[in-house]
Structures are given as structure tokens and as C-alpha cells.
């Protein structure tokens, strides 16, 4: 079963606008972590933001925030004031704390294009 679902293969946003990238996850455990990574065209994986399942407040890191809705099992990434450099592939990932090895499960990604 798919652990992480990203339903938006591609998104476009006007420069300086905000954009939300969707992510839903599937787990029956109470303890887990949620992550977002950015992959620019150069190929490296860049960590953006983390949300723990027990964190009561939504995580924020600069222009990135994570809209965590536990009951709906969603962990959407919000990028405010988009910049041209935000054009990249974005991956949502989950670390399942009670699974042996605690490996990360990744979604299929969303390609974001920022339009000048």
C-alpha cells in the first residue's frame, strides 16, 4: 500500500504568490515523522522542513511551512512568496517510527514551476 501520496504531478505558480503542495500519508502508528525535500534540476536532495507526529504546532522554516492535519493524515507544504529558484521537484516523505529500520517512505513528487 502506498504510504505517501502526492496527487499533483505538476504545479505552476506566479512569482511572489504562495503555493500549496499536497501530501497525504498512511500509517496506523502514533509515532512518525514527516519531511519535505526539494530536488532542483541539478539533482541533489535538499531537506526543507520536518514535522513530528506529536508536535502540536505546524512547523515553519523561513518561507516554508507545513500544514499538518493529523486527523486527515495530510502534511501539505506551503511556500510563501515564491521565487524563481523554487522551481524544482518536491518530495514528501514519512519516517515510520515503529517499523523495523525506520526507513523513509517517499512520495512520487510534485514538479513546481515558478512563472516570472
Partner 1 sequence: NAGVTQTPKFQVLKTGQSMTLQCAQDMNHEYMSWYRQDPGMGLRLIHYSVGAGITDQGEVPNGYNVSRSTTEDFPLRLLSAAPSQTSVYFCASRQTQLQGTNTEAFFGQGTRLTVV
Residues that bind partner 1 (CB under 8 A): 4, 6, 9, 31, 33, 35, 37, 43-45, 47, 50, 52-55, 91, 93, 95, 97, 100-104, 106-109
Q: In this complex, which beta carbon is closest to partner 1, that of residue 15 or of residue 61?
A: 61
Shortest distance, CB of residue 9 to partner 1, whole angstroms? 8
User: Measured from the CB atom, is 17 or 54 closer to partner 1?
Assistant: 54
Task: Tell me whether residue 12 or residue 54 sits nearer to partner 1 (CB atom).
Answer: 54
For 3, which DSSP code? S
Tally of CA atoms within 13 A in the half-sphere of 48 that contains its CB: 26
Q: At its nearest, how many Å lie between partner 1 and the CB of residue 14? A: 26
* Cα–Cα distance, 40 to 82 (Å, whole number): 15
Shortest CA distance to 65 belongs to which of 48, 53, 82? 48
Which residue number, 32 or 87, has a Cβ lying nearer to partner 1? 32
Q: Whose CA is closest to 88, among 104, 77, 100, 103?
A: 77
Give 14's contacts (C-beta < 8 A, 6+ positions apart).
82, 114, 115
Minimum distance from residue 44 beta carbon to partner 1 (Å)? 6
Residue 37 beta carbon to partner 1: minimum distance, rounded to whole angstroms? 8
Length of the chain: 116
Amino acid at each position: 500500500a502506498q504510504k505517501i501520496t502526492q496527487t499533483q504531478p505538476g504545479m505552476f505558480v506566479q512569482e511572489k504568490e504562495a503555493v500549496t503542495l499536497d501530501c497525504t500519508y498512511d500509517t496506523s502508528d502514533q509515532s512518525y515523522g514527516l519531511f519535505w525535500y526539494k530536488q532542483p534540476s541539478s539533482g541533489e536532495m535538499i531537506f526543507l522542513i520536518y514535522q513530528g507526529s506529536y508536535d502540536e504546532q505546524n512547523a515553519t522554516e523561513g518561507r516554508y511551512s507545513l500544514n499538518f492535519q493529523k486527523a486527515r493524515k495530510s502534511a501539505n507544504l506551503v511556500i510563501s512568496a515564491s521565487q524563481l529558484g523554487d522551481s524544482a521537484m518536491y518530495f514528501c516523505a514519512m519516517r515510520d517510527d515503529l517499523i523495523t529500520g525506520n526507513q523513509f517512505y517517499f512520495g512520487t513528487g510534485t514538479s513546481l514551476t515558478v512563472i516570472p
